[in-house]
Amino acid sequence: MPLRSRSPHRLQAQKVATGCVKLITMDGQVKVFHRPVIASELLTEHPNHRICHSDSFTIGQKIPALQEGELMKLGNSYFLLPLHFFQSVLSFVTLASSFSSFQSSSTSALLMQRAFEVHKTPSGKLQIRVSDEFLEKIRETQKRVDDAGVVGRARVCTSAALEKDYRQLVVDSRERQWKPKLETIKEAERKRDARRQRKKDRQDHKKEEKKQKLMNKRQEKKIKKLKKEVSADGKHQNPQHALPPHDRKVKKEDTRKTKGKKI
């Protein structure tokens, strides 16, 4: 089979690609970063996904995922795939299903036949590599769709990362321009004042209960003290209670004798 010569356009595309990091998502989006990127920076936005290198597909083996702290180097392409793709052994069927989302695009019908390059490793295993032409066509198609869909946005955004920053900037500026109505402010203040008043009433009620309990205890102590004083005064007024027990007995006997004599 004769070797195909590389076109100047493809050589130029590969030359430009060496200065950036490409990340391809399941929906066919290509994000371009003009600096090395740590995998954890992208996984925070996609918690149920993992990142792998574009030439890390080997039939009969699991797809090796990048570590969270691993650096994505310039000139390389990576795939952002759901977590379940990394949990089973790779086959041609699972590989085709991984790229089934690309079939909805206008370029996939023409490029799916050239999407993969099959290489045989020294150990005899088949290694599947996504072709550079396929990745570049996806990027070009995305750029054309973006240019046709939103007029003027391509003039501002030169990459997918900048486009995302621009979109967030526009949304944030619109949110900052929103102002609540005067009725909304008054209603919020009224509710806040009502909550404060209820809280103050509960605190005052607790203080009143505590004060009342303290007064009741003091009143009970006074009553007990008065009862003791009255009881002590009654004992002193009765002579019988004033005498010791022995003297009381003698006085009772004298009283009986006196009564007998009178009779």
d(CA 241, CA 253): 16
pLDDT digits (tens, 9 = 90+) for 16-41: 445 788 888 877 778 888 889 999 98
Instruction: At 98, give phi and psi (nearest 5°).
Output: -65, -30
| Nearest of 73, 37, 77, 38 to residue 56 by alpha carbon | 77
pLDDT given at position 114: 55
pLDDT given at position 11: 43
pLDDT digits (tens, 9 = 90+) for 192-250: 888 899 999 999 988 899 888 888 888 888 888 888 888 777 655 555 554 555 555 55
3-state secondary structure of 57: strand
pLDDT given at position 191: 86
The domains of the chain are located at 8-177, 182-257
| Nearest of 38, 12, 8, 6 to residue 23 by alpha carbon | 38
pLDDT digits (tens, 9 = 90+) for 54-76: 777 778 888 888 998 999 998 88
3-state secondary structure of 130: strand
pTM of the shown model: 0.42
Going by their DSSP bridges, the two strands 126-130 and 21-24 should be labelled as unpaired
Helices (H) and strands (E) in the chain, counts: 10, 9
pLDDT digits (tens, 9 = 90+) for 166-196: 555 555 554 555 455 555 667 778 888 888 9
Residue type for 211, please? K
Q: Tokens for 126, please give them.
A: 């088949």
pLDDT of residue 15 exceeding 60: no
pLDDT of residue 43 exceeding 80: yes
